Amino acid sequence: GENVEQHPSTLSVQEGDSAVIKCTYSDSASNYFPWYKQELGKRPQLIIDIRSNVGEKKDQRIAVTLNKTAKHFSLHITETQPEDSAVYFCAANILTGGGNKLTFGTGTQLKVEL
């Protein structure tokens, strides 16, 4: 099955700096890569996603890049703010007619310091 590895497990940045979280996946058939943000005590929520036919996607201060050849994808947050502090999960998915099975990375605890 799919295996997703995520690094780093913790990341501390100063407010205004950029943060980068990296993930690798094992199954070359994976074709959908979402990122979820989970604030303390709350549910994971989708913040951005990318499909395998796209190399990069941006949404305001966040962006994702995908390298299919190397089987890795990254989340970039620019101009970080205290409210960006949370756990971020990457995931990989093979879209089939039979379902939608997401495999998550182990998460990155991001702390944005004032």
Partner 1 sequence: DAGVIQSPRHEVTEMGQEVTLRCKPISGHNSLFWYRQTMMRGLELLIYFNNNVPIDDSGMPEDRFSAKMPNASFSTLKIQPSEPRDSAVYFCASSSPGHEKLFFGSGTQLSVL
Residues 63 and 55: beta-carbon distance below 8 Å: no
The DSSP code sequence of 31-84 is: -EEEEEEE-TTS--EEEEEEETT-SEEEETTEEEEEETTTTEEEEEE-S--GGG
Give the distance, in angstroms, between the CA of residue 43 and the centroid of all CA atoms in the same chain: 16
Residue 3 binds partner 1, judged by CB under 8 A: no
Out of 30, 89, 110, 112, point to the residue binding partner 1 (CB under 8 A).
89
Q: Considering beta carbons, is residue 48 or 112 the nearer one to partner 1? A: 48
Residue 95 binds partner 1, judged by CB under 8 A: yes
Q: Considering beta carbons, is residue 78 or 103 the nearer one to partner 1? A: 103
Q: Considering beta carbons, is residue 2 or 76 the nearer one to partner 1? A: 2
Q: Which residues bind partner 1 (CB under 8 A)?
A: 1, 32, 34, 42-46, 49, 89, 93, 95, 98-107
